[in-house]
Amino acid sequence: MSAVVGQKVPNFGVSEWVQGAPTNFDQEKDHVVLLEVFQVNCPGCFMHAIPEAIGIYNKYKDEGVRVLGIATAFEDFDKNTLDNLKMLAETGEVIGETKGALSMNGQLQEGKLPYKIPFPLGMDNLTKTTGDISQEKIMEFIYPQIPEFDSQPEDYRNQIIQRVKGYMKSKEYSAETFEKFALQGTPSTILVDRKGILRDVSFGQAGHVDSMIQKLLKED
């Protein structure tokens, strides 16, 4: 089941929790939930998104807001691993491009994050992809991103189908949360209201999240 803004949110995929008690959207009734989706090897995630999520956690943790973190992988499968997520949670140590960018900006202390991520952290559910890519899978990927796809010229449709097929073939793993919410990359935020309705999915700088949370907290 693919996620649709304005409808009941499906549960996100998680293979293992490395920090905090296991949970999911259906267990967070009566809470506003912010799910921060990141990759361990993603400089922007650690320079902007995770500090912002920590700020939201600190500001609203006593007001019925739950912040959760899910590490996913849609590239660099050798770096965006469960082991590297565990190392991050346990020691604050970062790797790869994240380490390079944070070092350059003077944001590490002895090669580690100067802060601890305070909210639960889990790893997305990754499945090794097989060679078989069905037409149905391709269309499930296309429709959320190009809702008016069927009304496009045939040449354009064929081109997009081939591009998506090529992209899917190049992926070693399929990540459940990333695909279920049709994410465009990392960092991404997923926001769910107290009634379990998906209210927002955003990619990149998510400066609007704080004001959205304030709005959701005022709703009955």
Q: What confidence tens digit (pLDDT) does each residue in 109-149 have?
A: 988 999 999 999 999 999 887 667 788 888 888 888 888 89
Whether the pLDDT of residue 204 is over 90: the answer is no
In this structure, the answer to whether residues 61 and 155 fall within a common structural domain is no
Q: What is the mean pLDDT of residues 34-48?
A: 95
Q: Is the pLDDT of residue 180 over 90?
A: yes
Per-residue H/E/C for 49-75: HHHHHHHHHHHHCCCCEEEEEEECCCC
Q: Is residue 136 part of a domain?
A: yes
**Which has the higher per-residue pLDDT, 165 or 9?**
9
- The token pair that represents 146 in the structure block: 């190009």
According to DSSP, residue 112 is labeled B
Query: What's the count of helices (H) and strands (E) in the chain, helices before strands?
Result: 8, 8
Are 20 and 82 members of one domain? yes
Q: 190 pLDDT band (50/70/90 cuts)?
A: very high
Kindly state the average pLDDT of the residues 62-84: 94
Share of the chain above pLDDT 70, in %: 97
Instruction: State yes or no: pLDDT of 154 exceeds 80.
Output: yes
Whether the predicted pLDDT of 1 surpasses 70: no
Tokens standing for residue 164? 């998506």
Peptide bond into 118 cis (omega under 30): no
Position 118 in a domain: yes
Task: Check whether 2 has a pLDDT greater than 90.
Answer: no
- Is the pTM here over 0.85, yes or no? no
66 lies in the same domain as 142: no
Alpha-carbon Rg of the chain, whole angstroms? 18
Q: 114 — phi, psi (to 5°)?
A: -80, 5
What's the average model confidence in pLDDT over 22-47? 95
| Residue percentage of the chain with pLDDT more than 90 | 68
Going by C-beta distance under 8 Å and a sequence separation of 6 or more, which residues neighbour residue 194? 29, 30, 31, 32, 64, 216, 219
Q: Residues 189, 200: contact at Cβ < 8 Å?
A: yes
Alpha helices (H) along the chain? 43-44, 50-60, 82-91, 96-104, 135-145, 154-170, 176-180, 209-218
Alpha carbon 167 to its chain's center: 19
Residue 213 phi, psi dihedral angles, 5° rounding: -65, -45
pLDDT at 167 over 90: no
- pLDDT for position 81: 95
pLDDT level of residue 13 (50, 70, 90 thresholds): very high
**111 shares a domain with 27:** yes
For residue 202, pLDDT over 80 is answered with yes
> What is the number of domains present in the chain?
2
Pair 62, 116 in one domain = yes
Residue numbers of the domain that contains 188: 16-125+177-218
Among the listed ranges 34-48, 55-69, 159-173, which one has the minimum average pLDDT value? 159-173
> CA-to-CA distance for 63 and 200, rounded, in angstroms?
20
What is the per-residue burial (b if ≥16 Cβ within 10 Å, else e) of 8-47?
A: ebbebbbeebbbeeebbbeebeebbbbbbbbbbbbbbbbe
Q: Which has the closest alpha carbon to 177: 15, 6, 43?
A: 15
Q: What is the mean pLDDT of residues 196-201?
A: 95
Residue 69, Ramachandran bin (φ over 0: left; ψ between -120 and 50: alpha; else beta): beta
Same domain flag for 121 and 60: yes
Same domain, 106 and 66: yes
**Is 5 part of any domain?**
no
Mean pLDDT, the chain, as a whole number?
91
